[in-house]
């Protein structure tokens, strides 16, 4: 996780005003793909925690309640992540595309 934080710090340090319009669009597309991959990894991790009932470690009954309380996600967003994790177990091709960053969590 330290490497991920370092990479994000490096990205945040770039001066976007130095980039051409084309380079800005390329960066945007790359960031969307990376965001999709990160969302997929979050969903996969939440599903593993949900399956193991890990939220009980913090005294909570569900991962949805843990996400609301600890990650400060809205009820709708927390529920979406939990439901997506459950659904992706039955949709391996979709899970693979999500993990590759080619589709979004919404798709």
For 71-95, b/e burial (b = at least 16 CB within 10 A) is eebeeeebbbbbebbeebeeeeeeb
Res. 106: pLDDT tops 90? no
φ, ψ of residue 51 in degrees (nearest 5): -60, -40
Domain hosting residue 77, numbered range: 21-100
Tell whether pTM > 0.85: yes
| Residue 73 forms part of a structural domain | yes
| Residue 2 forms part of a structural domain | no
| Residue 12 forms part of a structural domain | no
Give 10-63 pLDDT, tens digit per residue: 999 999 999 999 999 999 999 999 999 999 999 999 999 999 999 999 899 999
Number of domains in the chain: 1
**Per-residue pLDDT at 37:** 95
| Residue 77 forms part of a structural domain | yes
């Amino acid at each position: 996780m330290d490497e991920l934080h370092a990479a994000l710090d490096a990205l945040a340090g770039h001066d976007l005003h130095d980039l051409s319009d084309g380079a800005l669009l390329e960066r945007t597309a790359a960031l969307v793909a990376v965001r999709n991959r990160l969302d997929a990894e979050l969903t996969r991790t939440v599903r593993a925690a949900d399956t193991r009932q890990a939220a009980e470690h913090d005294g909570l009954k569900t991962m949805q309640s843990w996400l609301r309380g600890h990650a400060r996600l809205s009820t709708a967003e927390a529920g979406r992540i939990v439901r997506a994790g459950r659904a992706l177990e039955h949709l391996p091709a979709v899970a693979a595309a999500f993990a590759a960053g080619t589709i979004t969590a919404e798709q």
